[in-house]
Amino acid sequence: MKKWNTTIRYAGFSLIGVALLMFISAFIAFRNDMDDSFDPLIFSGMASLLSGFFAIVTTKPQEKMTVEDGFRIVTGCWVAACIFGALPFLIYGGEFTVVNAFFESVSGFTTTGASILNNIEALPDGMQFWRIATAWMGGIGIVTLVSLVISGQHDRHSVLSSAELSDLAKSYYGGRKRNFVYRMIAVYLIITTTSAIALRLTQMPWFDATTLAMSACSTCGFCTKNISVAFYNNVAVEIILIVAMLMGATNFSLMFSTVWPDKRTHKNLFNTQVVRWFLALVAIAILAVTANLYYSGYCATFPNALRLAAFQVCSLSTTTGFATADTNLWPTGSMGLLILCSLVCGCSGSTSGGMKMDRFVIVVKSLKGLVNSLIGFKNVNRTKLDGQLKTEENITSILAFMGTYMLIIGIGTVIFALSMDFKASLTASIACIGSVGPGFGDVGSMGNYAGFLGFQKVVAMIIMLLGRVEIFPMLIAVKSFFSR
């Protein structure tokens, strides 16, 4: 168990962060005439704080860390946050049974945005804020936040950032990894703050504006209304959220470099292939869905079709999951395009889930090179992305990730199909591993996951966690747990 001491120690730091957000949520409950969520939040906050301190003071810091240690820490921090994050829901009761409380917590921290609630608006403000605070904390990455409070030794930050963030996420930054973390957090706070202010300018109440901004920036999709963003029926609100969602799904380091140029890489949003591919494919999907909605007769006017298509395509391609319409009623062609949007999704180094556009672009380029080499062209099977040559090992690891990703989708589909039709089970599996939230059928944009059986919810939670940590860190941590 000695090798798990460090994991327990860093999980303690994550619990202190969880406790802080619980106390902020309790303060909101206090300001709201001390609503019914105040006691559950205060008790849960104290339990998380004391558990965190206990974990820290009873373990010793480890001077040297391996990558395997990093993977254990990442998995341990996420699991600890999800377990203690369920306490406010569990104590509050209502629709939150034991399984439902853990499901909502895991869904929030992994920024999936899938919910078991049939009546979201029945929750008091304190619990509403806590629900979305889990997503906001999970969006930037729990271990990323933990790295700010540990000592400044280089090896610790190097291992932790390598475990929490994929190499794809760090490939556009050539400086110290500690500074990379600062960049991500700075961009995250700026997007959240500016989005909240912009939403407030539409005459939206501060509480709604803040929670929507937190949910959009974290690309989670939790909302304080039962019918999501459709409740507001406001074009300005939808435009602001589209911009916030797209920014949340773009590499944060590139956004930082656009405003504050990086002399080492000279990369920014305007000269990077991945961002161009991402925005181009989103635009193509919007036009295709718009045409399908309009010419199928679902929308009477082209502007209305464009409005619906733009929001839903951006919502699913960024893995946010907000809704302005019941997409179960849309034409089959539009549904198919939205499912494809839920698979690839945003860029690495963002809060978005999914396979990531970076991997998609590399695979397309490598396939193009392979085809050209097979028909006789020489020296064309070398794959480059933004000037960086990708080795055969890089491409193999990406293909392994995508193959495992699809395998998990298949397993989830079979398990979910035990209680629902194929369309709902397939899209639910895609939504869980991609941190998307809504699928189609019973789990559509205006539905929820309340109809899942208990063991199916447990499977969904495991799939959400696998998708959030990008599969392999969690698998390695599990293997490490059972190894001698």
Measure the CA–CA gap between 138 and 109, rounded to whole angstroms: 4
Q: Is residue 155 part of a domain?
A: yes
The residues facing 383 across adjacent strands are 390
Q: Is residue 408 part of a domain?
A: no
* Per-residue tokens: 407: 């395998």
The structural domain count of the chain equals: 1
Q: Is residue 309 part of a domain?
A: no
Measure the CA–CA gap between 109 and 131, rounded to whole angstroms: 9
User: For the chain, how many residues are written?
Assistant: 484
Measure the CA–CA gap between 149 and 370, rounded to whole angstroms: 46
Q: For the chain, give me the number of helices (H) and strands (E)?
A: 21, 2
Given the DSSP bridges, would you call strands 383-385 and 388-390 parallel, antiparallel or unpaired?
A: antiparallel
User: What pLDDT does 152 receive?
Assistant: 46
| pLDDT, averaged in runs of 10, over the chain (484 residues) | 75 91 95 91 96 89 72 86 95 93 95 93 95 91 57 48 54 59 83 96 95 94 93 96 94 83 71 89 96 94 96 95 94 94 87 88 83 65 70 83 93 94 94 92 91 94 91 81 68
Show the domain range for 19. 1-161
Measure the CA–CA gap between 111 and 229, rounded to whole angstroms: 17
Q: Is residue 150 part of a domain?
A: yes
Q: Is residue 398 part of a domain?
A: no
User: What pLDDT does 151 receive?
Assistant: 42
Which backbone phi and psi does 205 adopt, to 5 degrees?
-60, 150
Q: Is residue 462 part of a domain?
A: no
| Helix extents (H) in 110-260 | 125-140, 142-149, 154-164, 167-170, 177-200, 206-217, 235-248, 252-259
Measure the CA–CA gap between 221 and 355, rounded to whole angstroms: 18
Q: Is residue 137 part of a domain?
A: yes
Q: Where are the beta strands (DSSP E) in 373-422?
A: 383-385, 388-390
| pTM for the predicted model, two decimal places | 0.91
Which backbone phi and psi does 39 adopt, to 5 degrees?
-60, -50
CA neighbor of 436 nearest in space, from 312, 278, 308, 255? 312
Q: Is residue 443 part of a domain?
A: no
